[in-house]
Structure 1
Amino acid sequence: MDVLSDVLSVLRAGQPRSALVRWHGPWAQQFPPVPNAVGFRAVVQGNCVLLPTGAAPVRLGAGDVVLLPHGRGHVLADSSTTPPTTRASDPAAADFPDSRPLVIADTAGPSTVTLCGAYELAPEGHHPLLQDLPEVIHLDARVDGRTGLRAVLDMLGVELARPGLGTDAAIPALLDMLLLYALRAWFDETRTRQGTGWAAALRDPAIAAALHAIHRKPAHPWTVASLATLAGLSRAPFARRFTELVGQPPVRYLTWWRMTTAARLLRGSDVPLNVIADAVGYHSEFAFAVAFKRQYDTPPGRYRRSTDAIPH
């Protein structure tokens, strides 16, 4: 599994939430911050403006997608001058109903249709890839090369507007694809930029090779030397470049990813602890438990029991 796919597989907890919303002007809604979720807004019809807290307005037209990786509070409105209101209609809210069409206000006037939604992050889902993302990512799905993003938006709109047999299965899958295509579009957009962080790490052939190897085989007895050889670099230059781009040394990242993978298995399966330990590179269940407790401040068995009530 490639790194981006692998990371996305551990980000979400439970079902993503979404709604097709028809707004009639004048309108403005305040969306409060949601610290443990990734939000998105996509414009299907019409235009509007997104007003992030403490940041410049973002004007949106049909085909525009906004990703809010850190759950930033914002206002969505027909105009920056319309006074905002707060209604219980935020798909990021815990009490939001199942995905469904939603009409906000029934006054006359031009209408704007948006897809609004949120992905609840898993307890172990705070991957450094997300931490590197800006507060607001604005993408135009009509740009050349983004046909996948546009297609997913169209299919999601159809499923929400006209639910049918299989819609409950289709919507979560389409939301996963939307997040993937949005992140892929952002990575493509930043491809020519210099700097550090995950976008730069995945653009660097040597470091990307090491990351892909760690994610494909977390149980392998990787060392800095073996990862450096795989990357085609000597040990010291590899360790420096990896740490600079990824934000932590290779062995620390390897351990972190092993524990993150273990947490996902504990949260989403009934696989025995000794099998999980072996799957993430620990031949001793005791050594695995010590490493897991060091990262999560709780033994793996207790972690599993504490998440038994969480829907997977």
Structure 2
Amino acid sequence: MTAVTDSTAEADDDLLTALLTPLRLRGVFASWWIMPAPWGIRGAGESSAILHYVRSGALAVTLPGTTEPTWIRAGELALFPHGTGHELADRPGRALMPLELVLPDRPAGGTRVVELDGTGPVTELLCGGLHYDAAAVPVIYRSLPDVLLVDERMQAREPLLSTVLAQLASRDEFETPGSTLVTLRAFELVFVLALRAALSDLGSDAPAVQALRHPGIARSLLAVHTRFEQAWTLETLAYEAHMSRSAFAATFRDLVGVTPARYLANRRMQEAARLLTETPLPLGALPDRVGYRSAVGFHAAFRAHFGTTPARFRQ
């Protein structure tokens, strides 16, 4: 029997992989919560992504400016890509305690176990403050909604996600000597897999999804992410997208939020930052590796993007 594959789905998967592979976490603050009802917590906005995984029980999440809560039940995951402030409670209408009173200090690399007082049904929650490398975040990330819910149906498409979450949700993981790096990489994997699952399921009205599902724009994004070192121009990217120059430029900006030239420059700077921090590549080899034919042009672009020189960035 001849196997039939969905080429569109494979292309989408290739693009998601290319977009999310560079994401790196610099640190994680992990906390395990045991909360008998009644309880309520109000968290201010954070400069990191936030992850909530409900191991048992259920909770209601309310975002600023909204009155209708989102329920997260056992086995489900909520990801706040931009660290948007929100309220958590065992049910809507509870009195809320500021997070700062419960956990005033939440350093990257730290872990805490929090047990609240109460006599009602217990909710067990794993929380992660995910401090990511802003230089490695694709531009399209900025168009994600304030919260992404990854339910068990969506997790089934990423079997490794459920496995890693279950391991992280075990309190023993927090008490193992030398587990900091393992925990960091496990949360990094959860971060990327949860984004993959959520992006695959977002409604078609989301700009990020429209860009990923537009045949021409998707082809150009994949080209930029995987072949950034090539001498791309607006004309050659439009040719890659099978679109006219003017239609490509306008559609790309509408869906992605920046011009093709800016997106390409961001991707090249993203790779330059990775090479500087993760490899011993000589500085002189860097411009050509990321698509610049002029060392002067590369250094000017790098300083404009990061506010410093490649040498100082590496230090």
TM-score with structure 2 length normalisation?
0.82
Are 1:236 and 2:246 counterparts? yes
In structure 2, what residue type is equivalent to 1:136? V
Contact 2:33 2:114 in 1 (8 A): yes
Contact 1:89 1:96 in 2 (8 A): no
Residue of structure 1 aligned with 2:52, choices 33, 38, 41: 41
Contact 1:23 1:113 in 2 (8 A): yes
Are 1:246 and 2:247 counterparts? no
SS in 2 for 1:33: coil
Residue of structure 1 aligned with 2:129, choices 118, 121, 137: 118
**Could you say which residue in structure 2 is the equivalent of 1:186?**
198
Equivalent residue runs for 1:43-122 within 5 Å: 43-55=54-66, 56-87=68-99, 94-95=106-107, 98-99=110-111, 102-122=113-133
Unpaired runs of 5+ in structure 2?
1-12
**Which deviates the most, 236-245 or 132-141?**
236-245
SS in 2 for 1:114: strand
Residue of structure 2 aligned with 1:274, choices 272, 275, 284: 284
Question: Counterparts of 1:61 and 1:112 in 2: how far apart (Å)?
Answer: 9
In structure 2, what residue type is equivalent to 1:282? Y
Contact 1:88 1:96 in 2 (8 A): no
Contact 1:11 1:122 in 2 (8 A): yes
Residue of structure 2 aligned with 1:176, choices 163, 179, 188: 188
Contact 1:23 1:104 in 2 (8 A): yes
Contact 1:91 1:118 in 2 (8 A): no
Unpaired runs of 5+ in structure 1?
306-312
Structure 2 vs 1, CA of residues 33 and 278 (structure 1 numbering), >3 Å: closer, same or farther? same
Q: Percent identity?
A: 31
What do the CA deviations read for 1:108-147 (whole angstroms, capped 9, x no partner)? 3321101101211324245322211111222322458445
Are 1:205 and 2:215 counterparts? yes
Q: CA deviation at 1:44?
A: 0.8
Are 1:285 and 2:298 counterparts? no
Are 1:153 and 2:165 counterparts? yes
Question: Counterparts of 1:91 and 1:226 in 2: how far apart (Å)?
Answer: 52
Question: Counterparts of 1:181 and 1:48 in 2: how far apart (Å)?
Answer: 23
Aligned residues: 301
- Would you tell me which structure has more helix in proportion to its own residues? 2
Contact 2:25 2:184 in 1 (8 A): no
TM-score with structure 1 length normalisation?
0.83
Question: Counterparts of 1:208 and 1:31 in 2: how far apart (Å)?
Answer: 36
Contact 1:19 1:91 in 2 (8 A): no
**Which deviates the most, 40-49 or 245-254?**
245-254
Are 1:129 and 2:140 counterparts? yes
Question: Counterparts of 2:222 and 2:99 in 1: how far apart (Å)?
Answer: 44
**Which deviates the most, 150-159 or 179-188?**
150-159
SS in 2 for 1:95: coil
CA RMSD of aligned residues (A): 2.9
In structure 2, what residue type is equivalent to 1:58? T
